[in-house]
């Protein structure tokens, strides 16, 4: 089960899991991109779509209950849904702060809460939280986003200890700036606010990466897939950087 599964990193992880034979449920706020992605995957595996707003408990509970009723328990949960809004700290309104916490942190809590009892009962499960290098370090003008992503890593570590003897692993995958719609929106925002060219705005983001580039979503998907495959059982409570050496 993959939240935010209709595009970007979520879509890449969905394909990686599907190619290994997993049945996949894609979740998101809008069905159209989910169905488009599902159509591309149905030649490979069984795929379903569920509309869910990860920031709303009632929406998450209903969507996850529907998926479980259709397919049985959830063995793999990928908490990928996220949102990034920027503002200088002194101009960060409470509504922006709360939105970043609701989507990026509370959404992980709600999704995991919905599936963990079934994993514990079955004696097997994999929870993968797609966070960000913003959960491992600071970036200017995204303090609320950084705080939420740091919270996800803290939750990951605490939950990994609770489930360590239950054959359930909990890990975070932390991409640097990745070639997704979210980052393209950030580039457009830099252009609009600063008057810089597209190339200059892109360079502002890639300068953080020692390799001097954006991460490909498939690279993040490969890391997530590895955490689900045999041989990774000892990996839990980790924050795995996929960032070209930005975080060491």
DSSP for 188-245, please give it. HHHHHHH---HHHHHHHHHTTSTT-SPBPHHHHHHHHHHTTSTT-TT--S-EEEESTT
Strand 239-242 to 168-175 pairing? parallel
CB 106, CB 83: distance < 8 Å? no
d(CA 133, CA 241): 7
CA distances from 236 to 46, 75, 98, 161 (A): 28, 16, 29, 8
Question: Which residue bears the tokens 């992880």?
Answer: 13
Catalytic residue chosen out of the listed positions 139, 141, 145, 177: 145
In b/e form, how buried is each residue of 178-187, taking b as 16+ CB within 10 angstroms?
A: bbbebbeebb
145 catalytic residue (yes or no): yes
Q: Which residues are catalytic?
A: 145
């Amino acid at each position: 089960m993959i939240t935010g599964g209709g595009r970007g990193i979520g879509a890449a992880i969905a394909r990686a899991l599907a190619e290994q034979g997993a049945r996949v449920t894609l979740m998101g706020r809008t069905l159209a991109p989910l169905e488009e992605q599902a159509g591309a995957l149905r030649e490979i595996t069984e795929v379903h779509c569920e509309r869910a707003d990860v920031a709303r408990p009632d929406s998450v509970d209903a969507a996850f209950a529907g998926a479980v009723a259709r397919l049985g328990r959830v063995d793999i949960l990928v908490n990928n849904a996220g949102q990034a809004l920027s503002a200088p700290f002194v101009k960060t309104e409470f509504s922006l702060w709360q939105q970043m916490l609701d989507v990026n942190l509370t959404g992980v809590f709600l999704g995991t809460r919905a599936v963990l009892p079934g994993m514990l009962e079955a004696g097997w499960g994999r929870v993968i939280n797609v966070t960000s290098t913003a959960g491992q370090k600071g970036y200017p003008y995204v303090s609320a986003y950084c705080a939420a992503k740091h919270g996800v890593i803290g939750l990951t570590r605490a939950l990994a200890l609770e489930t360590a003897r239950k054959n359930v692993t909990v890990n975070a995958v932390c991409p640097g700036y990745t070639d997704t719609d979210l980052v393209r929106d950030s580039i457009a925002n830099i252009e609009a606010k600063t008057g810089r060219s597209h190339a200059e705005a892109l360079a502002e983001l890639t300068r953080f990466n020692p390799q001097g580039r954006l991460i490909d979503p498939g690279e993040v998907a490969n890391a997530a897939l590895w955490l689900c495959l045999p041989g990774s059982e000892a990996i839990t409570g980790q924050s795995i950087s996929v960032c070209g050496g930005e975080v060491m």
